[in-house]
Amino acid sequence: MDVGRLRRCTVCGFEFEKTAPPAPAPDLVSSVVMTVGHVLLRVILIIGIVILVGVAVLFASCAMHL
């Protein structure tokens, strides 16, 4: 049974406040695109770091042989 902003059980007397429905979920396509974009950005950054370390090792090994 509804009493103002409260809803009361007629059997046990338990009361709880009625709330607004939850906000609609964000658009699924935009969230997937953002996730894919973040994954691609991280992969590109990791590949860049690996290449940078490889170049540093190459220059260091060449300097050690001189």
Q: Is the pLDDT at 57 greater than 90, yes or no?
A: yes
Banded pLDDT at 8 (limits 50, 70, 90): confident
The domain limits of the chain are 28-66
The more confident residue out of 13 and 20 is 13
Mean pLDDT, the chain, rounded, equals 83
- Residue 50's pLDDT is what? 98
- Residue 40's pLDDT is what? 93
Q: Is the pLDDT at 44 greater than 90, yes or no?
A: yes
Encoded amino acid at 20, one letter: A
All residues at 6 or more sequence positions from 18 whose CB lies less than 8 Å from its CB, including other chains: 2, 5, 6, 7
Average pLDDT over residues 20-49: 81
All residues at 6 or more sequence positions from 8 whose CB lies less than 8 Å from its CB, including other chains: 1, 2, 14, 15
